[in-house]
Amino acid sequence: MTGKRHKTAVVTGASSGIGAATAIRLAAEGFHVVLGARRVDRLEDLVQRCGGQALFLDVTDGESVARFAGAVEGVDVLVNNTGMAAGLTPVSELSEDAATTMWETNVMGLLRVTQALLGRIEASGEGHVVNVGSTAGFETYPGGGGYTASKHAVRAITQTLRKELLGKPVRITEIAPGLVETEFSMVRFGGDRRRADKVYEGITPLTAEDVADCIVWAVTRPPHVNVDEIVVRPLAQATATMVAREES
Ligand code: NAP
């Protein structure tokens, strides 16, 4: 092979929203992209558009993560983007099932994928782990107990990793978005389109591309520049609960 080696970026949760937009942008920057999610048909459609590799990945299943990691050769960049919320339920009523699903997906999933790939990321000599957290990683809101707990944990893991890897060639970044219009709210409300649409009513939310832009900006800084975190929200949002909505 002649010329510059294409760096490899692994993106989890690449079958929709922020992950899909990030995969397209990273591919446009010249990365070989490895895309993981459960809906492989969607990943394969994406590979038709931007090249790369589509692999089944269920981050809640250790064997699936091991198979996924085994199919990846070198890794330079890992975008831990997989995440979800289940419902908007007060802590007093939060079901064990919903809480566990969020924790297993958002926290343990991120941990499993990171552990499986970190050695190769470090060995690349210019590694980067980007964790997609949320403003829910440092704010709370009624009904968000399970989700905010998981995103607070993502933030804690991100900051811990940066300390543990100090002196090693691995950059660590957290991207913390506010309201982004993706499939997120449809998943949160179990496919209830009316409830999902209400989340974005009367505002111009962020798009998946807006967040991908932040991720790709952090990744494409020179290797000595560590963007610790980016908090990005729609102009109409000041906090999780303070949102300026226009009357329709
Ligand atoms: P999305 O459109 O629902 O995308 C979520 C992605 O995660 C999908 O590709 C989904 O793919 C994947 N995923 C879910 N469970 C998985 C599992 N067990 N194993 C592997 N992949 C799984 O939502 P999004 O808004 O782009 O979310 C991306 C990230 O941004 C999440 O971490 C979310 O918490 C965070 N975030 C979103 C917002 C927002 O307002 N949208 C705000 C702040 C932070 P499959 O279903 O095909 O597996």
pLDDT tens per residue across all 248 residues of the chain: 445 678 999 999 999 999 999 999 999 999 999 999 999 999 999 999 999 999 999 999 999 999 999 999 999 999 999 999 999 999 999 999 999 999 999 999 999 999 999 999 999 999 999 999 999 999 999 999 999 999 999 999 999 999 999 999 999 999 999 999 999 999 999 999 999 999 999 999 999 999 999 999 999 999 999 999 999 999 999 999 999 999 87
User: Taking the domains of the chain in order of start, what are their residue ranges?
Assistant: 8-232
How confident is the model at residue 247, as a pLDDT?
87
| Per annotation, catalytic residue among 20, 22, 113, 147 | 147
Q: How many angstroms separate the most distant Cα atoms in the chain? A: 61
Give the atom of ligand 1 at the shortest distance from the alpha carbon of 18. Answer: 26
Give the atom of ligand 1 at the shortest distance from the alpha carbon of 19. Answer: 26
Residues near ligand 1 (Cβ within 6 A): 12-19, 37-39, 57-60, 81-84, 105, 132, 134, 177, 179-180, 182-184, 187, 208
**Cα of 1 to ligand 1 centre, how many Å?**
36
Phi and psi, residue 209, nearest 5°: -65, -35
Does this model's pTM top 0.85? My answer is yes
Domain at 8-232: CATH architecture: 3-Layer(aba) Sandwich (3.40)
How confident is the model at residue 2, as a pLDDT?
45
How confident is the model at residue 3, as a pLDDT?
52
How confident is the model at residue 117, as a pLDDT?
98
The closest alpha carbon to 214, from 27, 26, 9, belongs to 26
